[in-house]
């Protein structure tokens, strides 16, 4: 069973994005007020697409509320593709959000996955994090907000079942081989993801229901369901899920 966390079941994907946008704005205002900066590690995939669009287009509710020049964007994971590739998480965010709001280019910290040597790209990104967060050895970056998705197999970021990145406790960034996708990925590692001030999972759709029930209510099996690894040590964890994804949850019934 996971440690303390909140589950918020919303009607559908549209309400999921609305709630996530409200959380984004709230966390951004709070962070900038407290520290003059808001650092976020973004989720890739398709679920967050409408959130990113909403933040850029819903002027009154969201766009105008965010001090974009004080937001620093990082990625939770990235595919082994160049930044202009259709599968690029960076490209997805660039098209839907970053090209639409006044974020200074120096605030966008993408993973340089055009590098044929993805291990090198992971190492470089780790250095970007160390420099930006001014980390000494053994210290972890503390994002104000980490957004995560979850696959139907219970993976999150690029922590896939049975991969070595699940057990990474030394490095900040890893480049695991993902057998079932026949590709390497770059991903933030569990110690980084678990050090965030606020972590929000965005899970939508009936195809996620079985994995969600196993992750939230099943026995601890992080090898099989890596999303179970996400248990922030000193931060809040919110599972924002829609009714279709939550349909097998017993506790929420």
Q: Which is nearer to ligand 6PG, 51 or 197 (CB)?
A: 51
103 is a site residue for ligand 6PG (CB under 6 A): no
Asked whether the beta carbons of 23 and 31 are under 8 A apart, the reply is no
- Does residue 235 bind ligand 6PG (CB under 6 A)? no
Q: How far is the CB of 149 from ligand 6PG (least distance, A)?
A: 2
The residue whose Cβ lies closest to ligand 6PG is 149
| Choice between 187 and 195, CB closer to ligand 6PG | 187
In the bound complex, what is the minimum distance in angstroms from residue 104's beta carbon to ligand 6PG?
A: 25
**Residue 45, class by beta-carbon neighbours within 10 Å (0-12 exposed, 13-18 middle, 19+ buried)?**
middle
Tell me how many residues contact ligand 6PG (CB under 6 A). Answer: 14
Our finding on whether 149 is near ligand 6PG (CB under 6 A) is yes
Stretch that binds ligand 6PG, among 63-71, 124-132, 145-153, 161-169 (CB under 6 A): 145-153
Report the distance separating Cα 230 and Cα 118, nearest Å. 24
Contact letters (x/-) for ligand 6PG, 167-206, by CB under 6 A? ----------------------------------------
Q: Is 111 in the site for ligand 6PG (CB under 6 A)?
A: no
116-122: list long-range contacts, CB under 8 Å, 24+ apart: 118/80, 118/175, 118/184, 118/185, 118/186, 119/175, 121/175, 121/186, 122/171, 122/173, 122/174, 122/175, 122/186
Interface with ligand 6PG (CB under 6 A): 43-47, 76-77, 89, 149-151, 155-157
């Amino acid at each position: 069973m996971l440690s303390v966390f909140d589950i918020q079941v919303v009607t559908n994907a549209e309400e999921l994005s609305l709630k996530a946008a409200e959380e984004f704005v709230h966390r951004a205002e709070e962070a900038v007020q407290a520290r003059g900066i808001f650092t976020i590690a973004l989720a890739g995939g398709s679920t967050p697409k409408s959130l990113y669009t909403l933040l850029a287009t819903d002027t009154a509710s969201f766009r105008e509320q965010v001090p974009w020049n004080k937001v620093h964007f990082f990625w939770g994971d990235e595919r082994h593709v160049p930044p202009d590739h259709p599968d690029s998480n960076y490209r997805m965010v660039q098209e839907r959000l970053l090209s639409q709001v006044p974020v200074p280019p120096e605030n966008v910290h993408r993973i340089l996955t055009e590098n044929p040597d993805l291990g090198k790209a992971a190492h470089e990104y780790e250095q970007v994090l160390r420099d930006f967060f001014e980390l000494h050895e053994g210290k972890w970056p503390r994002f104000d907000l980490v957004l995560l998705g979850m696959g139907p197999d219970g993976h999150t970021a690029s922590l896939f079942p049975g991969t070595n990145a699940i057990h990474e406790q030394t490095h900040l960034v890893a480049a695991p081989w993902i057998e079932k996708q026949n590709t390497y990925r770059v991903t933030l590692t569990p110690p980084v993801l678990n050090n965030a001030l606020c972590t929000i999972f965005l899970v939508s759709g009936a195809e996620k229901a079985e994995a969600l029930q196993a992750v939230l209510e099943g026995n601890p099996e992080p090898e099989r369901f890596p999303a179970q690894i996400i248990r922030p040590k000193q931060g809040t964890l919110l599972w924002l899920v829609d009714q279709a994804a939550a349909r097998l949850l017993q506790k929420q019934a």
